[in-house]
């Protein structure tokens, strides 16, 4: 149960806090609403009293449910907006949900989901006016109050949308700067580490196999010494383009550092990964690079095993590549601690 990505810690805290407020409000209002005969509102308040604490507890206990408080906060707010705006129609107090709702829709979800909820809410706001009068046996709020509420809703929605769109753009820029290599535009060591950490956890939980290929260009220092760093940078960019054409869309290529690159081969045994490494090795060997012409590369291959973390996994790949460097232009597979080279 997730949005596009896990909600960030500060917004998760807001979602939890907002659920606490919803629960406290519901406790104070459920009895009075019951006496007034507003059964719809009583059901909503009771639901918030149950879902609020459940969402908070589960978000602390289960990582995969960390977005649950946001779902609850947005869902309850939406219901308050729909029901609360048209039930006690002799009071304008419930119209507070109209400007509040779009802010929470965008803040606690994402730009796409927030926009969808806002459009739906807008339709309910316009189409619902007067529709609940017969059902609730209460007069509608005055037309002037309703127009003011609509104006507040549109202004708040527009501001929330533009704010979140700008925040998304800035967040994307910062994310790319922090996790992507500026030169080659593939993941950097930090980005690769984040992905590997998640994949190791997934392997421990579900047994999802994957392998890694660590490789670098042989004698790359001579390229920089003889032709300069500008030519060396162009070689690395050209190398990335070659490798990306060879790997699958589900595989991940990144720059580990310097002329070292890492390929994360998803749902693949060590044996299959070594075959891919050999294909990449031959492709690099046969390719004619601009200015420097011919280059070779050395590869180290290993697969994830039980008890692994990023450090142990990379250490094995590094040792395998060190063995390959002895002869250069070769692929070396590190035998797992169970004595096998594949899973």
> Is there a single domain that holds both residue 104 and residue 250?
no
- Please give the share of the chain, as a percent, with pLDDT higher than 70: 84
What are the structure tokens assigned to 79, written together? 């219901």
The answer to whether residue 133 is domain-embedded is yes
Give the mean pLDDT of 88-113. 74
The answer to whether residue 51 is domain-embedded is yes
The answer to whether residue 339 is domain-embedded is no
Task: Tell me the residue range of the domain where 150 lies.
Answer: 9-178
Q: What is the per-residue pLDDT for 77?
A: 82
The answer to whether residue 184 is domain-embedded is no
Q: What is the per-residue pLDDT for 99?
A: 77
Q: What are phi and psi of 333, to 5 degrees?
A: -110, 125
Give the mean pLDDT of 290-317. 91
> Is there a single domain that holds both residue 137 and residue 277?
no
> Is there a single domain that holds both residue 158 and residue 14?
yes
The model's pLDDT over 323-333, given as tens digits with 9 standing for 90+, comes to: 999 989 999 99
298 close to 236: Cβ distance less than 8 angstroms: no
Last residue of one domain, picked from the residues 112, 147, 178: 178
The domain total for the chain is 2
In angstroms, the CA 248 to CA 267 distance is 11
In angstroms, the CA 339 to CA 288 distance is 38
> Is there a single domain that holds both residue 229 and residue 139?
no
- Name residue 289's beta-bridge partners: 293
What is the chain's mean pLDDT, rounded?
83
Residue 339 has pLDDT above 70, yes or no: no
Give the mean pLDDT of 61-79. 83
> Is there a single domain that holds both residue 155 and residue 291?
no
DSSP reduced 3-state for 4 = coil
Q: Which of 98, 97, 114 is nearest to 106 (CA)?
A: 114
> Is there a single domain that holds both residue 173 and residue 26?
yes
Band the pLDDT of 132: cuts 50, 70, 90: low
What are the structure tokens assigned to 155, written together? 């202004």
Pairing of strands 297-303, 331-333: parallel
Q: What are phi and psi of 6, to 5 degrees?
A: -60, 130
Provide the CATH number for the domain around residue 240: 3.30.70.270
The answer to whether residue 342 is domain-embedded is no
In angstroms, the CA 34 to CA 252 distance is 57
> Is there a single domain that holds both residue 216 and residue 157?
no
120 close to 77: Cβ distance less than 8 angstroms: no
Q: For the ranges 63-72, 131-140, 179-188, which has the lowest average pLDDT?
A: 131-140
Q: Which residues contact 153 (CB under 8 A, 6 or more apart)?
A: 98, 99, 101, 102, 121, 122, 125
> Is there a single domain that holds both residue 19 and residue 102?
yes
> Is there a single domain that holds both residue 145 and residue 289?
no
> Is there a single domain that holds both residue 203 and residue 159?
no
More confident site: 131 or 57: 57
Last residue of one domain, picked from the residues 122, 154, 178: 178
Catalytic residues: 259
Residue 161 has pLDDT above 50, yes or no: yes
278 close to 271: Cβ distance less than 8 angstroms: no
Please tell me the pTM assigned to this model: 0.64
The answer to whether residue 343 is domain-embedded is no
The answer to whether residue 314 is domain-embedded is yes
CA neighbours closer than 13 Å in the CB half-sphere of residue 322: 7
Residue 302 has pLDDT above 70, yes or no: yes
Can you tell me which residue has the tokens 């190398």?
239
What are the structure tokens assigned to 26, written together? 């519901």
The answer to whether residue 249 is domain-embedded is yes
Last residue of one domain, picked from the residues 148, 178, 208: 178
Task: Give the CA distances from residue 206 to residues 3, 100, 198, 200, 306, in Å, rounded to whole numbers and listed in that order.
Answer: 21, 41, 12, 10, 11
> Is there a single domain that holds both residue 101 and residue 222?
no
> Is there a single domain that holds both residue 143 and residue 96?
yes
- Name residue 257's beta-bridge partners: 260
């Amino acid at each position: 149960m997730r949005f596009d990505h896990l909600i960030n810690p500060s917004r998760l805290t807001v979602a939890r806090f907002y659920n606490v407020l919803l629960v406290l409000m519901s406790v104070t209002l459920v009895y009075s609403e019951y006496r007034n005969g507003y059964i719809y509102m009583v059901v909503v308040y009771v639901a918030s009293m149950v879902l609020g604490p459940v969402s908070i507890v589960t978000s602390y206990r289960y990582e995969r449910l960390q977005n649950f408080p946001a779902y609850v906060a947005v869902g309850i707010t939406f219901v308050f907006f729909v029901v609360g705006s048209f039930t006690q129609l002799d009071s304008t107090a419930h119209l507070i949900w109209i400007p509040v709702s779009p802010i929470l829709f965008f803040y606690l979800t994402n730009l796409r989901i927030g926009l969808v909820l806002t459009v739906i809410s807008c339709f309910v706001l316009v189409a619902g006016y007067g529709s609940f009068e017969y059902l609730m046996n209460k007069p509608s709020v005055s037309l002037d109050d309703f127009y003011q509420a609509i104006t507040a809703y549109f202004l708040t929605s527009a501001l929330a949308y533009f704010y979140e769109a700008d925040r998304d753009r800035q967040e994307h820029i910062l994310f790319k700067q922090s996790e992507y290599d500026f030169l080659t535009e593939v993941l950097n060591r930090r980005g690769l580490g984040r992905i590997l950490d998640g994949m190791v956890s997934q392997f421990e939980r579900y047994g999802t196999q994957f392998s890694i290929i660590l490789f670098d260009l042989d004698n790359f220092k001579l390229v920089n010494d003889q032709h300069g760093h500008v030519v060396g940078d162009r070689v690395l960019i050209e190398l990335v383009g070659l490798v990306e054409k060879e790997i699958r869309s589900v595989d991940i290529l990144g720059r580990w550092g310097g002329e070292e690159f890492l390929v994360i081969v998803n749902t693949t045994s060590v044996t299959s990964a070594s075959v891919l490494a050999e294909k990449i090795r031959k492709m690099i060997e046969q390719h004619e690079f601009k200015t420097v012409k011919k280059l070779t590369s050395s590869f180290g291959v290993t697969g994830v095993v039980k008890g692994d973390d990023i450090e142990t996994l990379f250490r094995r790949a590094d040792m395998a590549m060190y063995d390959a460097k002895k002869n250069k232009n070769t692929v070396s597979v590190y035998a797992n601690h169970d004595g096998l080279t594949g899973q």
